[in-house]
Amino acid sequence: MQIKLIPLQMHGDERGSLIALEQDKNIPFEIKRVYYLFNTVEGVRRGFHAHKNLSQVVIAVRGSCRFLLDDGKEKINLLLDNPAQGLLIESAIWREMYDFSEDCVLMVLANNFYDENDYIRNYDDFLKTYG
C-alpha cells in the first residue's frame, strides 16, 4: 500500500499563517464535500469503514491523531499532526482514527457527496472484497 502525504504550501508573516486548498492543484480531485471532526472524546476510535469509490484528503488543522490504514493485505499506522500536510486516502482503504489530542480538529475534503451506499462498514465484508 502506498500512502501519499500531500505537502500544503504555507504562506505567512508576523501576522500568522495561511494555507490555500485548491482542487486539481494541491487537492488531486474536485472537492464536493468538506467536513471536520472535533471535541472527540478521549479514548474513542472513529472511522471503522472503507469506501468503494470515494477519495479523501484529511488534514489535522489543529492537534493530532493517529490513523490505521488497511488495504486488506497491509496495515500502516501513522501520526497526522501537521496542518501543512494532507493525507490522501483513496477508495478501498479501511481507516480507523484514534489517539486524538484534546485540541484535535480533523478536516476532510471528499471528491463526492455523502452516500451511505459507498460505505463498507463491516471489516469481514471489506476483507472478502479487497483482502
| Entry pTM | 0.94
- According to DSSP, residue 4 is labeled E
Residue 131 pLDDT level (bands cut at 50, 70, 90): confident
Cβ contacts of 125 within 8 Å, gap of 6 or more:
none
Residue type for 40, please? T
Q: Which of 34, 16, 32, 49 is nearest to 86 (CA)?
A: 34
Greatest pairwise CA separation for the chain in angstroms: 53
Q: Which residues are catalytic?
A: 49
The architecture CATH gives domain 4-8+20-130: Sandwich (2.60)
All three cell numbers of 108: 476532510
pLDDT digits (tens, 9 = 90+) for 78-126: 999 999 999 999 999 999 999 999 999 999 999 999 999 999 999 999 9
Domain ranges of the chain: 4-8+20-130
Residue 10 and residue 20: Cα distance in Å, rounded?
A: 8
Tally Cβ neighbours within 10 Å of residue 75: 12
